[in-house]
Amino acid sequence: MVEARAEFADRVKPHLDSLYRTALRMTGEGASAEDLVQETFLKAYRGFGQFEPGSNFKAWLFTILTHSYINDYRRRSRAPRVTDFSEVEPEGEIETPHFSAEDVERLADRLGDPAKRALDRLPPEHRLVFLMSTFEDLSYKEISAILGVPIGTVMSRLFRARAVLRRELAEFAQQQGYLQEKDQP
Amino acid sequence: MKCHEAKHHLDLFMDGELSVPENLKVLEHLNLCRPCAGVYEGEKALRAALRSRLGADRAPAGLAERLAQEEVPSVRGLRLPTRRLLSAAAAAAFLLVALLFVLTTPGERPQAFAAELSTKHKETRMGFCGQDSDDCLCLHCCSESDNPVGKFFQRHVGRESCSHDLSGLGYKPIGASVWRHRGKPVCWTVHCDNAGHTITHGLVTTKIALEPGPLLVCDGVDRPVVMIPVEGTELTCVFVFDDEGEAQRFRTSKGMK
């Protein structure tokens, strides 16, 4: 039994960083992230019989992680102020600011904190999609299966999350004087 | 392809979600159009910067090794962090309130019953810990080592509740409580395992209005319910599980289908 568990841990190990950092961005602190990863691991270990050989193991682990988060952690996590999209996006499709590569280069070292704040303020469903797509290289189709929502929903959440992030980073950059107000064409 | 189309497709292009012909069209446009290429380069740099700052966290050293180790659960030194234990117990208490609400027979006034239970629930919801009192047993705090739950119920209702043992499934009791409803005792215990699963286990003495094998919906989540009649009595043991996998493990351990 001990050996089987150790073997299973070896199988999970290549994905541990991915699981942990997603958990960290969702729960907001290290101890909770570790708890969530541990819970994910144990559920996966017990439910390994349900895993279909040949299918995507990483996506399967993320399914367990996100469900555990949604069912459990989310209910009791410190609730940061959630971005109200009706407030950020007045109407229709928004024109989001784009940075030039030079802007980003100037900003890069100071980008971490405002980006974290912007992410924390996104509704969890949007944040999850953003994290899985941007940092974990999961495809829209995989994310759609993980969250049990249509691909169109994945796309709209992702694009909104990115739009909000760009906008907040642009605001930050302007406040800090790193970015000149550009004339919109 | 026009500029606005290229911009519109840029995210999909960068996410690798375009079909091959669409991909080629965007590439072609980026090769020809300097402003769009600038937007693309900026977006690429932004993604790289975000990745290196937010997407590069690593799991703490030793986490893989800790996961690989088999844990030995123990009631006194329950490995769960206290806050997790508390919230698990609070969630379980809420489940029981919801369950009893459902179980209330039509003859009773559900609202009044629920209100009564909510009050009781509030009194005990802090997850037992530190609340070892006359009608609430905290297994973390109590000093009795020999069958504390059995003795607790024996003292309160004159019997040992039921003999269902969940330790074979890795669950340990974390607390027990009892109160009276219409003169009849409601006994309940909460069990946790190391993964934070909770089993709320109530001995219900009022008439059961549910068919066997139902799902209880709490917090938008389906909670499987398993009911086992106590032989030789009119009592029913009700178990509420976190998910179907846990319920199935329990059924299997009891030789149920």
A76 contacts on B by Cβ (under 8 Å): 87
Chain B interface mutation, best of A1, A2, A3, A13, highest count of B Cβ atoms under 10 Å = A13
The CATH number of the domain where A100 resides is what? 1.10.10.10
pLDDT tens-digit readout, A62-83 = 999 998 888 766 555 444 434 4
Q: At what angle do helices B3-14 and B34-54 cross, to 10 degrees?
A: 30
pLDDT tens-digit readout, B50-101 = 998 888 889 988 888 888 876 533 333 334 455 556 666 667 766 766 666 6
pLDDT band at B115 (very low <50, low <70, confident <90, very high): very low
Shared domain check, A67 and A115: no
The first and second tokens of residue A100, run together, are: 């030039």
Domain housing A8: 2-76
Cβ separation A16–B49 shorter than 8 A: no
Instruction: Give mean pLDDT, residues A1-25.
Output: 85
Shared domain check, A57 and A99: no
* Percent of chain B at pLDDT exceeding 70: 58
Instruction: Give mean pLDDT, residues A2-24.
Output: 87
The answer to whether residue A165 sits within a structural domain is yes
The answer to whether residue A184 sits within a structural domain is no
Q: Is the pLDDT of residue B190 over 50?
A: yes
pLDDT, position B227: 75
ipTM score:
0.84
Q: Is the pLDDT of residue B183 over 80?
A: no
Write the residue in B49, B195, B219 that is nearest to A104 by C-beta: B49
pLDDT, position B99: 67
Shared domain check, A39 and A100: no
Shared domain check, A93 and A162: yes
Q: pTM of whole model > 0.80? A: no
Could you state, in order of their start, the residue ranges of all structural domains in chain B?
A: 3-54, 82-253
The answer to whether residue A182 sits within a structural domain is no
Q: Is the pLDDT of residue B213 over 50?
A: no
pLDDT tens-digit readout, A82-93 = 444 444 443 344
The CATH number of the domain where A67 resides is what? 1.10.1740.10
Shared domain check, A116 and A133: yes
Q: Which residue has the higher pLDDT, B223 or B249?
A: B249
pLDDT, position B218: 42
Which residue, chain included where needed, has tokens 């605001």? A171
What is the side-by-side strand order in the sheet with B136-138? Answer: B136-138, B172-181, B184-192, B198-204, B236-240, B221-229, B215-218
Shared domain check, A162 and A93: yes
The answer to whether residue A183 sits within a structural domain is no
Shared domain check, A37 and A105: no
Shared domain check, A102 and A132: yes
CA dihedral defined by A127, A130, A133, A138, rounded to 10 degrees?
Answer: 20
Instruction: Give mean pLDDT, residues B12-26.
Output: 89
Instruction: Give mean pLDDT, residues B141-148.
Output: 77
Cβ separation B43–A13 shorter than 8 A: no
Most confident of B88-102, B104-118, B126-140: B88-102
Shared domain check, A113 and A58: no
- Residue B222, SS3 per DSSP: strand
Shared domain check, A102 and A32: no
Q: Into how many domains does chain A fold?
A: 2
A159 contacts on B by Cβ (under 8 Å): 11
What is the average pLDDT score of chain B?
71
